[in-house]
Structure 1
Amino acid sequence: MQAQNPSHALALVLVDELARCGVTDAVLAPGSRSAALAMALHDDPRLRLHVQVDERSAGFLAVGLGRATGRPAAVVVTSGSAVANLHPAVVEAHTGAVPLLLLTADRPPELRGTGANQAIDQLHLFGRSVRWFHEAGAADDHPGAVAHWRSMAARAVGEALGLAGPAGPVHLNLPFREPTVPASDDGRTRAEPFSASLDGRPERRPWVSITRTPRHAAPGELAVLAGRLVATERGLIVVGQTTAPAGPIHALSRATGYPVIAEPPSGARLPGALAHAHHLLGHAGFARAHRPDLVIRIGRTGVSRNVASLLGPDVPQVLIDPDGGWHDPDRAVSHLLVADVAATCTELVDELAVPASSEWADGWAAADAAAADAVAAVLDDGDLPSEPRTARDLAAALPDGTTLVVGSSMPIRDLDQVMCPREGLRVLASRGASGIDGTVSTALGIAIADATSDGARRQPTVALVGDLTLLHDSNGFLLSPDLERVDCTFVVLDNDGGGIFSFLPQAAYPASFERVFGTPHGRDLSHLAAFHELGYHRIDLASDLPTVLTRTRLAGGIHLVHVRTDREANRQLHDRLTRAVHDALG
């Protein structure tokens, strides 16, 4: 590599080192101060470059790429307010443990605090939400510069993947002096060529190779916990959002006889797990009779209030987390075991030796089956689309290998309450900050990650979102020309506003409710689909959903499947579901 000036050198070295460290994707929001980085990314075939005009959407596109792959994607923006627009994505990556690289171009130090255009204080702009911040300093042609830049890039990738804790966002602030493009003959961008060698390690190795090993619990600690499991029949395994594989968790369930309550994004809502814990634990009598004597908790929970009410301080609870994550908003956990989840479950199974069964587990299974029948009877009564039925039928109809991205607010709750356990479906959700922002871009990032490197189609990505969630990030559809290489179907539950508020105390105040909580928008989503040139399909009969999904999968590209619902009817349907399950439990 040969650079024409220091800014060009910094960009070439940084992009080369990121590729050496395993980064495969970068998202760019156009700007001038980041020109050197933009051109270097465009010209390097090892990285897929995605261009998004909206910086906030660009940040969430990178979050989707990181969530799907487990590798940090880089997001590149110019200086000034462009950087501030990344903050919502930074918050989600921080709270959701998603690896993310923020490469923010900046004015050089001599232009800061002078009133220069697009010059704000970008130092530590994201505060404690990043795993590591580094100000690179303005690029200069001096000994040691290349080693500094390569070490910085290698550490940034390592910190994003989690060196001393969970994965998360890393911020590299990169001041560029002009010229920010390779030297030309226009009389304005002349500079002396960069004199130092830009070479990295031989054989394209990273400047710093990082090795991570799983944390194992001490043998004595495992023996004590295994003893507690053997001595306790009335136990539960509760699994929230986690990257731990489901197999060892279910093996521990079989070895202990403990039922598994698994939120859909946990990856553990497999056959054998309970599907209707929310409804079961909403029955006061059942909840009292089924208070566990020990709970093994894995991942971050919080979708169901009824499950959360079971996990009170009076219930002994052991949280297993590889990074020591403090997933305990109710201050109920009595033991935090900092260890790899899969290894710990496997080692506990070895300690326990033989599978267990119990009347306790049989009772949960029988109640769950009764709840399933009751829920099905209500949802299948007629063929009008509803939000819970759409969630249930969508999860059941998608072919193996599909990724289902679920929006916050009601869609994730509906899915949690009605999704039947199944194999072959990966469910992802932004449950870090649990916001609705950036969901369109996150889903598109996941869809891009699910495609092969040449854009060939695999199983599609499908997103289940509400209407406000879709509108909030509709700029995500401005991603282009990447849309031609993305297969993603958005199933939109459109109740003309914020449906979740109908289930909250605010609903008891009708004078103000509709304007400040219901917030009807009155928009026709078919017009949005036409503007962005998306495929559009309206669902008038619930039974039509599987056929439409097949059609969009075969067609490829981006589609909007529109399901119109009514907020008040949806609230009444949820009441009917609750009553039906309670009647089934007697």
Structure 2
Amino acid sequence: MEQYYTDERNVQILIALLKAHGIKQVIASPGSANVTFVGSLQQDPWFEMYSCVDERSAAYMACGMTAESGEPVVLSCTGATASRNYFPALTEAFYRKLPILAVTSTQEESKIGHLIPQVIDRHQQPSDIVKCSEHLQTVKDEDDEWNVTLKANRAILELDHHGRGPVHINLTTRYSHNFSIRELPSVKVIHRYLPHGKLPPIHKRKTAVYIGSHSKWKPEDAALLEAFCHAYNAVAFCDATANYHGKYCVNYNLPACQSIADTNKNPDLLIHIGDMSDEAGMVGTPKEVWRVCQDGKLSDRYGKLSAVFEMSEGDFWSHYVAMAKEENGDDSYLMSCLNMEKRILGKLPELPFSHIYVASRLHDKIPENSVMHLGILSPLRSWSYFRFHPTVDIYCNQGGFGIDGNLSSLIGASLIHPEKLYFGVVGDLSFFYDINSLGNRHIGNNLRVLLINNSLGAEFLLFKQTNIITCVNDIESYISAENHFGNQSSVLVRHYAEDLGFEYLSASSKEEFDKVYPRFVTPELAEKSMIFEVFTHVKDENDALKRMWNIEIDKSLKGTAKKVVKFLFGHEGMNTIKSILKK
């Protein structure tokens, strides 16, 4: 019977990536758990196979081979205690910095601890035998395939990352007897580049930079980014907390959520910089992603990562600007994006009294050279639709992305520069979660807190959550935590704020808001810090978001019908209607 590759997808992916990364020397020890791996390798003449019965000797053989050849060597063993015999030689390899990839095969992790023969726990490794350890699970769906591919790339790249050394992969098998796969799958190979190495070229294609949450920009780095964008006809899609306000900044949050087809989305190459961002999906689905970060980690937000540049952003821009110095600059992509942004902002709908309405009125009135802290979800989204003055620094606790600590972070920042105004925007749940921080005796007169109080977690009741949460009855009682904290009491926050020495402002309508907000955004330091409580209702919040997402809609009958069905019934409702029409 002819034998080819196993049908176990995780094994196929690992083998394909070994070949893609140029690793061919393998020392195999006998066993049953590694049959699908070794049986696939031995029929592929590309690999140089060696046999060794004793795993301890096999690992020491690998030390000798890699020290002599300079090339990585793969070890393969079965389950049970076989892998424990690798420890002495892997310790040697760790301290001698020898690139050995120990692949230990195993049954499903779910069998650990259930008295099943030859199943041992390999979750933790001694700190000085391998640089990293990854588990490649059975592939059951696309998410598993992405995860296995990413982890296999990460393990292989770690063999020579910050110096060489041994790495461990725990490879699950289901003991498949099917070796009928004639060709390995096409796999995504991820490369890591260092500052002084040879970097890949950027061929002429639609290129964009996405800037997630970012610290303050050095002027020279911002200038290099702009030189890069001009040289490659690129744009910089910016999160609200990107803190880049230069010529190539594109505030794409509002255009991206429109239903009309948008040819500016889905860049061919997306260069991803910055940290965590809730709005990263606004650029659509890029064909390829390069991640630029000094930690060199394989952070694959879009599932399309092909390269990681372990270097400063300044080094990255400098290199590619130098490579493009013979090319003519072109800003046509920028002009296209800015024209779309301008067109949509020019058609803003009449909004009900809501968080988005408040943001639409205040975004350009926040005083120059002040600092804004946005709470997660609604504050971050609502204010991201608009541009601030370029001298306003914007931050958000997007790292852990929780509602706790927004006020405390704002207060801590305000203590650094008491002469500067610090604004914060939070919802009622976040406000009351962290309310004790307002009693801190170090608070000065430079704090301005905007509290959007709708007496629940409105996020869970918005139309965009239809497929995730709103299929559950009585969401208000527990999931969105309705009617806590005084149920929009008109005096609760007032008394607390004033007793602590804050100036208190409030509004429950557009008319009241228009009378009060000028005081809140006055550019001079007032005698006291301020708390501005705005009372809204979830129905208006939902309606405002719908209107913002439908400034430009698909004008075709088919598109309109789809949009209506989607809004009324969600994705599941659309699928149900489709199934009915087919009958």
Structure 1 equivalent of residue 252 of structure 2: 276
Distance of aligned partners of 1:271 and 1:527 in 2 relative to their CA distance in 1, 3 Å threshold: farther
Match of 2:500 among 525, 529, 532: 532
**1:567 is aligned with what amino acid?**
V
Task: Please give the alpha-carbon distance, in whole angstroms, between the structure 2 residues aligned to 1:528 and 1:469.
Answer: 16
Match of 1:221 among 198, 206, 212: 198
Structure 1 equivalent of residue 119 of structure 2: none
Task: Please give the alpha-carbon distance, in whole angstroms, between the structure 2 residues aligned to 1:280 and 1:371.
Answer: 11
Structure 2 equivalent of residue 492 of structure 1: 451
1:401-448 Cα offsets, whole Å, 9 max, x none, are 1010111121011122x1225410100111101111011111000000
Please show how residues 469-480 of structure 1 align to structure 2 within 5 Å.
Answer: 469-480=430-441
Structure 1 equivalent of residue 542 of structure 2: 571
Range with bigger deviation, 500-509 or 544-553: 544-553
Match of 2:345 among 345, 367, 372: 372
Q: Does the 8 A contact of 1:274 with 1:421 survive in 2?
A: no
Q: Does 1:297 align with 2:269?
A: no
Please show how residues 144-293 of structure 1 align to structure 2 within 5 Å.
Answer: 217-222=194-199, 224=200, 227-228=201-202, 231-243=203-215, 245=217, 246-280=222-256, 282-283=258-259, 285-286=261-262, 290-293=265-268
Match of 2:292 among 296, 320, 338: 320
Query: What is the CA distance between 1:277 and its match in structure 2?
Result: 3.7
Distance of aligned partners of 1:269 and 1:574 in 2 relative to their CA distance in 1, 3 Å threshold: farther
Q: Does the 8 A contact of 1:237 with 1:258 survive in 2?
A: yes
Q: Does the 8 A contact of 2:427 with 2:452 survive in 1?
A: yes
Please show how residues 336-355 of structure 1 align to structure 2 within 5 Å.
Answer: 336-353=308-325
Q: Does the 8 A contact of 1:409 with 1:500 survive in 2?
A: yes
Structure 2 equivalent of residue 549 of structure 1: 520
Classify the secondary structure of the residue corresponding to 1:397: coil
Distance of aligned partners of 1:399 and 1:583 in 2 relative to their CA distance in 1, 3 Å threshold: farther
Classify the secondary structure of the residue corresponding to 2:296: coil
Classify the secondary structure of the residue corresponding to 2:364: helix
Q: Does the 8 A contact of 2:374 with 2:425 survive in 1?
A: yes
Task: Please give the alpha-carbon distance, in whole angstroms, between the structure 1 residues aligned to 2:379 and 2:506.
Answer: 18
Please show how residues 69-84 of structure 1 align to structure 2 within 5 Å.
Answer: none
Q: Does 1:445 align with 2:412?
A: yes
Distance of aligned partners of 1:268 and 1:569 in 2 relative to their CA distance in 1, 3 Å threshold: same
Distance of aligned partners of 1:251 and 1:425 in 2 relative to their CA distance in 1, 3 Å threshold: farther
Task: Please give the alpha-carbon distance, in whole angstroms, between the structure 1 residues aligned to 2:227 and 2:241.
Answer: 19
Distance of aligned partners of 1:348 and 1:266 in 2 relative to their CA distance in 1, 3 Å threshold: same
Structure 1 equivalent of residue 136 of structure 2: none
Query: What is the CA distance between 1:366 and its match in structure 2?
Result: 2.1
Give the TM-score normalised by the residue count of structure 1. 0.55
Query: What is the CA distance between 1:393 and its match in structure 2?
Result: 3.3
Q: Does the 8 A contact of 2:250 with 2:338 survive in 1?
A: yes
**1:390 is aligned with what amino acid?**
V
Q: Does 1:435 align with 2:435?
A: no
Classify the secondary structure of the residue corresponding to 1:307: helix
Q: Does the 8 A contact of 1:235 with 1:258 survive in 2?
A: yes
Query: What is the CA distance between 1:546 and its match in structure 2?
Result: 4.9
Structure 1 equivalent of residue 330 of structure 2: 357
Q: Does the 8 A contact of 1:232 with 1:293 survive in 2?
A: no
Distance of aligned partners of 1:461 and 1:532 in 2 relative to their CA distance in 1, 3 Å threshold: same
Query: What is the CA distance between 1:535 and its match in structure 2?
Result: 1.1
Query: What is the CA distance between 1:582 and its match in structure 2?
Result: 2.8
Classify the secondary structure of the residue corresponding to 1:335: strand
Query: What is the CA distance between 1:528 and its match in structure 2?
Result: 3.0
Distance of aligned partners of 1:581 and 1:473 in 2 relative to their CA distance in 1, 3 Å threshold: same
Distance of aligned partners of 1:277 and 1:423 in 2 relative to their CA distance in 1, 3 Å threshold: same
Task: Please give the alpha-carbon distance, in whole angstroms, between the structure 2 residues aligned to 1:294 and 1:499.
Answer: 36
Distance of aligned partners of 1:565 and 1:445 in 2 relative to their CA distance in 1, 3 Å threshold: same
Task: Please give the alpha-carbon distance, in whole angstroms, between the structure 2 residues aligned to 1:450 and 1:554.
Answer: 12
Task: Please give the alpha-carbon distance, in whole angstroms, between the structure 2 residues aligned to 1:553 and 1:500.
Answer: 34
Q: Does the 8 A contact of 2:366 with 2:389 survive in 1?
A: no
Root-mean-square deviation over aligned CA pairs: 3.0
Of structures 1 and 2, the larger Rg is shown by 2
Q: Does 1:331 align with 2:307?
A: no
Match of 2:383 among 415, 428, 431: 415
Q: Does the 8 A contact of 1:404 with 1:425 survive in 2?
A: yes
Distance of aligned partners of 1:515 and 1:423 in 2 relative to their CA distance in 1, 3 Å threshold: same
Q: Does 1:460 align with 2:433?
A: no
Q: Does the 8 A contact of 1:244 with 1:341 survive in 2?
A: no
Q: Does the 8 A contact of 1:280 with 1:368 survive in 2?
A: no
Q: Does the 8 A contact of 2:195 with 2:315 survive in 1?
A: no
Give the TM-score normalised by the residue count of structure 2. 0.55
Q: Does the 8 A contact of 2:229 with 2:248 survive in 1?
A: no
Query: What is the CA distance between 1:266 and its match in structure 2?
Result: 1.2
1:354-407 Cα offsets, whole Å, 9 max, x none, are 662254443322222212212xx31xx37x642113224333112221010111
Task: Please give the alpha-carbon distance, in whole angstroms, between the structure 1 residues aligned to 2:454 and 2:315.
Answer: 44
Query: What is the CA distance between 1:508 and its match in structure 2?
Result: 2.6
Q: Does the 8 A contact of 1:495 with 1:564 survive in 2?
A: yes
Distance of aligned partners of 1:562 and 1:248 in 2 relative to their CA distance in 1, 3 Å threshold: farther
Query: What is the CA distance between 1:532 and its match in structure 2?
Result: 2.7
Task: Please give the alpha-carbon distance, in whole angstroms, between the structure 1 residues aligned to 2:332 and 2:359.
Answer: 32
Query: What is the CA distance between 1:467 and its match in structure 2?
Result: 1.1
Task: Please give the alpha-carbon distance, in whole angstroms, between the structure 2 residues aligned to 1:573 and 1:316.
Answer: 34
**1:561 is aligned with what amino acid?**
F
For CA contacts below 8 A with separation 6 or more, give which structure has more relative contact order: 1
Query: What is the CA distance between 1:583 and its match in structure 2?
Result: 6.1
Query: What is the CA distance between 1:257 and its match in structure 2?
Result: 1.5
Query: What is the CA distance between 1:568 and its match in structure 2?
Result: 1.5
Structure 1 equivalent of residue 374 of structure 2: 406
Classify the secondary structure of the residue corresponding to 1:336: strand
Task: Please give the alpha-carbon distance, in whole angstroms, between the structure 2 residues aligned to 1:297 and 1:478.
Answer: 40
Distance of aligned partners of 1:239 and 1:566 in 2 relative to their CA distance in 1, 3 Å threshold: same
Structure 1 equivalent of residue 460 of structure 2: 501
Q: Does 1:562 align with 2:533?
A: yes
Structure 2 equivalent of residue 307 of structure 1: 282
Q: Does the 8 A contact of 2:213 with 2:276 survive in 1?
A: yes
Unaligned stretches of 5+ in structure 1?
A: 1-127, 129-163, 165-214, 452-457
Range with bigger deviation, 364-373 or 434-443: 364-373
Classify the secondary structure of the residue corresponding to 1:297: strand
